[in-house]
């Protein structure tokens, strides 16, 4: 006889968060709270928060960007669904391509998975060029210069010291945590 049992394997995922509309820090914190309330997601750690010049479409306000490390039992596509639902609940409108947004939640890495589907590419195909992703990622991922993460270590070296990114806050989540909260 066979029995169905729940697959409780935990996966490690990294997501990039960005906001450049309204109370940007509050949108980041609300997104982290909502993700953490999902039964299949644990927010393990958060990077510092950086203020970053817009890239792509430059005639818009500065972003706040950060990266969070998650433990999750969800599959990559189920996690993507949750990220998109969270964006929608926080008022994300998909209007101007690369335009201003209350919140942007991008799945960057999921274990060491490489995935190419219509909906989802992993690792995130453009993360290696973006200081606003790589700099906060380095806060929460240990990026070894050897082994499979070598490409990330090289990418990080390329963007280190680049302009257009500055520390905004040491910690926004959980509230009251971190050296910035006195």
Beta 63-72 vs 49-52: how paired, if at all? antiparallel
Catalytic site residues? Answer: 92, 101, 104, 106
Q: Which residues bind Mg ion (CB under 5 A)?
A: 104, 106
Residue closer to ligand X6L, measured from CB, 13 or 159: 159
Query: Does residue 52 belong to the site contacting ligand X6L (CB under 6 A)?
Result: yes
Residue 55 CB, nearest approach to ligand X6L (Å): 4
Site for ligand X6L in 93-152 (CB under 6 A): 98, 104, 132
Query: Token pair for residue 131?
Result: 């200081």
For residues 33 and 85, what is the distance between their CA atoms, to the nearest angstrom? 14
Q: Are 15 and 110 spatial neighbours (Cβ–Cβ below 8 Å)?
A: no
By CB under 6 A, the count of residues binding ligand X6L is: 11
Residue closer to Mg ion, measured from CB, 50 or 106: 106
DSSP annotation of 57 reads S
Residue closer to ligand X6L, measured from CB, 21 or 71: 21
Residue 132 CB, nearest approach to Mg ion (Å): 9
Distances from the Cα of 84 to the Cα of 12, 104, 157, 181, angstroms: 19, 9, 31, 30
Q: Are 170 and 180 spatial neighbours (Cβ–Cβ below 8 Å)?
A: yes
Query: Does residue 47 belong to the site contacting ligand X6L (CB under 6 A)?
Result: no
For residues 4 and 172, what is the distance between their CA atoms, to the nearest angstrom? 40
Which residue has its beta carbon closest to ligand X6L? 56
For residues 48 and 64, what is the distance between their CA atoms, to the nearest angstrom? 10
Write the interaction track for ligand X6L spanning residues 56-75; mark x where CB under 6 A is met and - where it is not: x------x-x----------
Q: Which residues bind ligand X6L (CB under 6 A)?
A: 18, 52-56, 63, 65, 98, 104, 132
């Amino acid at each position: 006889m066979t029995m169905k049992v729940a697959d409780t394997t935990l996966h490690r995922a990294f997501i990039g968060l960005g906001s450049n509309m309204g109370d940007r820090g509050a949108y980041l914190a609300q997104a982290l709270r909502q993700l953490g309330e999902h039964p299949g997601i644990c927010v393990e750690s958060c990077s510092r928060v950086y203020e970053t010049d817009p890239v792509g479409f430059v005639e818009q306000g500065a972003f706040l960007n950060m990266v969070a490390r998650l433990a999750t039992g969800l599959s990559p596509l189920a996690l993507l669904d949750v990220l998109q639902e969270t964006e929608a609940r926080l008022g994300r409108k998909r209007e101007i391509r690369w335009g201003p947004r209350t919140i942007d939640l991008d799945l960057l890495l999921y274990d060491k998975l490489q995935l190419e589907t219509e909906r989802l590419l992993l690792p995130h195909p453009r993360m290696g060029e973006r200081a606003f992703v790589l700099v906060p990622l380095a806060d929460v991922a240990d990026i070894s210069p050897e082994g499979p993460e070598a490409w990330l270590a090289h990418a990080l070296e390329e963007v280190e010291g680049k302009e257009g990114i500055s520390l905004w806050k040491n910690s926004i989540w959980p509230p009251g945590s971190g050296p910035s909260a006195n």
